[in-house]
Amino acid sequence: MTSFLTADRLAQERAASETPHDTRRLRLFSGTSNQELSREIGAYLGVPDGPRVIKRFADGETYIQIQESIRGCDVFLVQPTCAPVNDHLMELLIMVDACKRASARQVTAVIPYYGYARADRKTAGRESITAKLVANLLTMSGVDRVLAMDLHSSQIQGYFDIPCDHIYGSPVLVDYLQTRNLGEVVVVSPDVGGVARARAFAKQMHDAPLAIIDKRRAAHNVAESLTVIGDVAGKTAILIDDMIDTGGTICQGARLLRRSGAARVLCCATHAVFSPPATERLSEPGLFEEVVVTNSIPLAEERRFPQLRVLSVANMLGEAIWRIHEESSVSSMFR
């Protein structure tokens, strides 16, 4: 499996190559939601975060200006649509419009965290499907391609009428876990809907056994765990999910695993949404040995806790960006 956790492999390849890669037509710009991640991606690519002005008028309207020529360039806009979701989504749309009007050859929206993804179908009458709505907004704003990571559900790729490259944070998580002495491992899905994700993760963990938590949800952000399907007694249980929001599902699952005899409990997720009171729940003494997430969403210092481990996905996103720019395969990164 390709490692995106340590060495800058692309830099090593460039140094070994007699013909240097041409990045003159590659431009990278970040919004305000995760500028540190954008800088890390730029360092991997050897491309600086482009100059732009982003400011707000007194009434809250956003003004954006690109401050260098991007005519005929491949432009990549890095902007996870995390909280405040509406502000960051609108900021991304305005950035796209600015780039299209500046005659960019192609504009790719790099969205490490795709907000509004949980409403991906109608489960009751008169509901909106916001995942499709956001896809329509991005398409109509002028985006030529979307690069997203760990969408809440895979079918969201089909909501776009433009190319959508979907990559996964699991290689970074697996690389880290394999450096730990975990003993006998069982991968646990916190609900039935995450079984496919957990099964794929278990395969990457040397075909580890799989367990499932049977859960019923009473309301939004309120979960009730019932029972564990599978053997976890005496093993290191790794709960895997795409995101942690308030932490209710994951924490109830961890308590159930402890009661079922799991020797150690770890939690892995790509997106650390961490809406209150997630930090208090996840940091409960004796619950999790470690909570492993990525930096797809920036985490303020007040939302961090001793059990938290944040891994960078900058190299993975940078590699995907380079492959899109070079018109080579993105999916082969995960073979």
CA distance linking residue 47 with residue 86, whole number of Å: 28
pLDDT at 15: 56
**pLDDT of the residue at 146:** 98
Burial of 238 (0-12, 13-18, 19+ CB in 10 A): buried
Angle, CA 331 vertex, CA 329 and CA 335 arms, to 5°: 115
Q: Is 22 helix (H, G, I), strand (E, B) or coil?
A: coil
Whole-model pTM over 0.85: yes
Alpha-carbon distance of 117 to 119, in angstroms, equals 6
| Exposure string for 200-217, b = 16+ CB within 10 A, e = fewer | ebbebbeebebbbbebee
Report the sign of the C-alpha dihedral through residues 113, 114, 116, 120, in that order.
negative
C-alpha dihedral sign at 309, 203, 322, 269: negative
Residue of 55, 122, 132, 215 marked catalytic: 215
Handedness of CA 200, 230, 273, 1 (dihedral sign): negative
pLDDT of residue 101: 97
Question: What is the model's pLDDT at position 24?
Answer: 77
Is residue 162 classed as helix, strand or coil in its secondary structure? coil
Q: How many CB atoms lie within 10 A of CB 230?
A: 16
Contact 115, 134 (CB under 8 A): yes
Task: Give the pLDDT score at 74.
Answer: 97
Q: Is 215 a catalytic residue?
A: yes
Say if residue 112 is preceded by a cis peptide, omega within 30 of 0: no
3-state percent breakdown (helix, strand, coil) of the chain, nearest 5: 35, 25, 40
Q: Quote the pLDDT of residue 222.
A: 64
Conformational region of residue 201, where left means phi above 0, alpha means psi within -120 to 50, and beta covers everything else: alpha
Contact between residue 76 and residue 61 where contact means Cβ atoms under 8 Å apart: no
The pLDDT of residue 18 is: 47
pLDDT tens for the chain, 335 residues: list them: 455 544 445 555 555 554 455 677 999 999 999 999 999 999 999 999 999 999 999 999 999 999 999 999 999 999 999 999 999 999 999 999 999 999 999 999 999 999 999 999 998 999 999 999 999 999 999 999 999 999 999 999 999 999 999 999 999 999 999 999 999 999 999 988 899 999 999 999 999 999 999 876 566 666 565 789 999 999 999 999 999 999 998 999 999 999 999 999 999 999 999 999 999 999 999 999 999 999 999 999 999 999 999 999 999 999 999 999 999 999 988 87
Q: Which amino acid appears at position 159 of this protein?
A: Y
End-to-end distance of the chain based on CA atoms, in angstroms? 7
